[in-house]
Amino acid sequence: MTATPLFPGFDGLMTLSRREGVDIRPTLLRVLTDLYVQTNAHSADEERQFVELTSRLIDQVDDATRAAVRARLAIYPATPAEIMDKLGLQRSHRGEPLPLAAAIAAAPTSAPAVKPPTEAQLRMASNLSMRPNDAAEISDMFFAAGASERALILHNLADTPLKASARIPAARAARAIHILEMAAFAEDTANFALELGEALILPQRIAEQVVHDPGGEPLACAARALDMSSAAFQRVLLFLNPEFGSSVHHVYRLSRLYDRLSERSALVMLAAWRGSTMAVTRAKYRSALYDDERHHARAATSQTRSAVQPGSSPATRTGTDGPKR
């Protein structure tokens, strides 16, 4: 039997690291490390998967990401020996204090100080558009993940260079929030999904998936993309789905997530939802756009012609068309 992966959809996203234009390998390595250190012990299969995936990424990321991962694994007691050797960490023995990672060498004093990038420069650098297939993989991975994994994905999306969707105009967002609250009070999920799809320019299929998701994290992303206030979001949670709103744990958990969720993370996820629609459309019409015309042309020319064409042979006389002479 095939072992269950640590992170559903992670192997499919490894193709992103081999394509030009989009490099999310640092984000993938951070997410994988955060998921691994959440548990004190792992099975042999989980440790093997972590070693295989992490070994491929450590040598391909920048120094800042490698240092951050090294710091996390240096204080984690169950770090695999292969990864410790790869990161240059010392192995500890039972009863000894955990080793600290080696200090990072200070920059030469003679080197000129590098100014941190401004907010405008960061926005200009974040212009790597997602390809439709990549957007579909990110969207599918998010919907298939659990609650803790979704929170990590949203947290790391804020640091990716992927291009986010444009902000919804303030007047349009305010009108949509008012309609969404009224639909939530009436427990009208159909009109709620319809208005949400129109406000965020999402197809009805994605809008309904966001509204009916049992976890609630997609709904939090959609509300943050509209810049909905925390109080309004809590009211939507309480009234839209009575079964969901009756759980104090779920409402409190999503409220905390919503307060920490950044606008950029929500807009990047919104761009992934929109891009995934393009991937589905291309796959639906690929045969008609690529080889359908030539296929029909060959089928038309291969039809056999009838042996006798109209008017090609004289009509047979039956002897009843006139008197004999």
Q: At residue 297, does pLDDT exceed 60? A: no
Question: Measured between alpha carbons, how far is 6 from 8 in angstroms, rounded to an integer?
Answer: 7
Q: Could you identify the residue written with the tokens 């080889």?
A: 291
pLDDT at residue 144, as a whole number: 92
- Residue 291: C-alpha distances to residues 132, 295, 298, 316 (Å): 21, 6, 11, 47
Find all residues with CB under 8 Å of 247, minimum gap 6, and list them.
none
The residue type found at 182 is: M
CB 91 within 8 A of CB 55: no
Find all residues with CB under 8 Å of 296, minimum gap 6, and list them.
none
Tens of pLDDT, residue by residue over 66-123, are: 888 888 888 888 888 888 888 888 766 555 555 555 666 665 555 555 666 554 444 4
Give the gyration radius of the chain's Cα atoms.
30
The token pair at 59 is 């040598």
Grouping H, G, I as helix, E, B as strand and the rest as coil, residue 290 is helix
Mean pLDDT for 287-293 is: 49
Higher confidence at residue 308 or residue 74? 74
Burial environment of residue 21 by CB neighbours within 10 A (0 to 12, 13 to 18, 19 or more)? exposed
- Residue among 114, 131, 174, 110 nearest 19 (CA): 131
Least confident window among 33-37, 132-136, 229-233: 132-136
Grouping H, G, I as helix, E, B as strand and the rest as coil, residue 238 is helix
Tens of pLDDT, residue by residue over 180-222, are: 999 999 999 999 999 999 999 999 999 999 999 999 999 999 9
Least confident window among 51-65, 96-110, 151-165: 96-110
Question: Measured between alpha carbons, how far is 236 from 187 in angstroms, rounded to an integer?
Answer: 9
Q: At residue 285, does pLDDT exceed 50? A: no
- CA max distance for the chain: 130
pLDDT at residue 289, as a whole number: 47
Measured from the Cβ of residue 293, the count of other Cβ atoms closer than 10 Å reads 10
- Residue 186: C-alpha distances to residues 165, 215, 241 (Å): 30, 21, 10
pLDDT at residue 5, as a whole number: 55
Mean pLDDT for 28-56 is: 85
Mean pLDDT for 268-279 is: 83
CB 197 within 8 A of CB 140: no
Please give the torsion angle defined by the CA atoms of residues 62, 67, 72 and 76, in that order, rounded to the nearest 10 degrees. 110
